[in-house]
Amino acid sequence: MLKFIKVMSNALICFYLFTVSINTVAAATIGKIAIIIDDMGYNRHNQSFSKLPNPVTFAILPFTPYSKKIANAAHQQHREVILHIPMQAQSHNHLLGKGALMEQMTKQHFQHVLSQGLADIPYAIGVNNHMGSKLTEENIPMQWTMELLSKRGLFFVDSLTTSHSVAESNAVAAGLPALKRHIFLDNVRTPAAMDKQFQQAIEHSQKAPYTILIGHPYSETLQYLSQRLGAPNKDFQLIKLSQLIPEKQRVILEDKKVQYQRTKQFNPLYPITNIEKIQ
């Protein structure tokens, strides 16, 4: 009888260890995905994206008709907001819009325009580039960008509109988190095409520490994400953008943000005088 009990006990222990092992492997294959919706601010219908789950981040263009309204509404939802700053591209720069950062700017003008963009988007915790295939290839403008963001306790997400971007390396050099886009969701706006991109994001997230997926405020994108994120899911974990930043770096950024706010109380930004006005 004692021998039988011992055998059964060993069997139960083995079964328990096997179950734990299976669960551990399953948990390890659940990737982390952060989703950013770019180009927010031009259209009042952009506000429909507030129906998406809270972890989805809004990247808002500065000086657009609904920029502040969308940022304030997102904050009320405890949704993260970043500045979607226009940056010089290799072509089609007439599409950049107001407040674009250009290669020919002086450092003073460049950082002033970036500061004004940040001032236009309340509650921004970081920045990513709108277009920027030219500017993100240039070390000096990227150094100026990261210098200002570092002082303010903000981070940069490289939208990776060029394979020759130096934004990530300059962020690392400035002590900032090195975040970058991995997948564009909606270059083709059909359900089948977006589903293919989303599946690529899931597969990438299971092999990498995280995946950043970028979409845009199209009605097709809203419909697809509403269905995809509303369905039961065991393949990935949808997380906030800031959760991709290691805890130690988050603490450092928060300390810098507090320090900047204190300094700003005694030395507010001087209004534009001899600096060229933002166009």
Asked if residue 101 lies in contact with residue 92, where contact means CB atoms within 8 angstroms, the answer is no
pLDDT value, residue 28: 52
Structural contact between residues 30 and 207, judged by C-beta atoms closer than 8 angstroms:
no
Domain range 30-266, its CATH number among 3.20.20.100, 3.30.70.380, 3.30.390.50, 3.20.20.370: 3.20.20.370
Residue 215 dihedral angles phi and psi, to the nearest 5°: -125, -175
User: In this structure, what is the dihedral angle of CA atoms 225, 231, 233, 235, given to the nearest 10 degrees?
Assistant: -40
pLDDT at residue 29 in the model: 75
> What backbone phi and psi angles, to 5 degrees, belong to 37?
-105, 110
What pLDDT was estimated at residue 249? 96
pLDDT value for 14 = 46
Q: Each residue of 227-243: pLDDT tens digit? A: 999 999 889 999 999 99
Structure tokens at 43: 């259209």
pLDDT, tens digit (0-9, with 9 covering 90-100), for 132-159:
999 999 999 999 999 999 999 999 999 9
Each residue's pLDDT tens digit, 80-102: 999 999 999 999 999 999 999 99
- pLDDT-derived band of residue 34, with 50, 70 and 90 as boundaries? very high
pTM (2 decimals)?
A: 0.86
The domain locations on the chain are 30-266
Kindly report, residue by residue over 155-175, the tens digit of the pLDDT: 999 999 999 999 999 999 999
pLDDT reading at 30 higher than 50:
yes
Tell me the three-class secondary structure of the chain, residue by residue: CHHHHHHHHHHHHHHHHHHHHHHHHHHHCCEEEEEEEEEECCCHHHHHHHHCCCCCEEEECCCCCCHHHHHHHHHHCCCCEEEEEEECCCCCHHHCCCCCECCCCCHHHHHHHHHHHHHHCCCEEEEEEEECCCHHHCHHHHHHHHHHHHHHCCEEEECCCCCCCCHHHHHHHCCCCEEECCEECCCCCCHHHHHHHHHHHHHHHCCCCCEEEEECCCHHHHHHHHHHHHCCCCCEEECCHHHHCCHHHHHHHHHHHHHHHHHHHHCCCCCCCCCCCCC
What CA–CA distance (Å, rounded) separates 2 from 243? 52
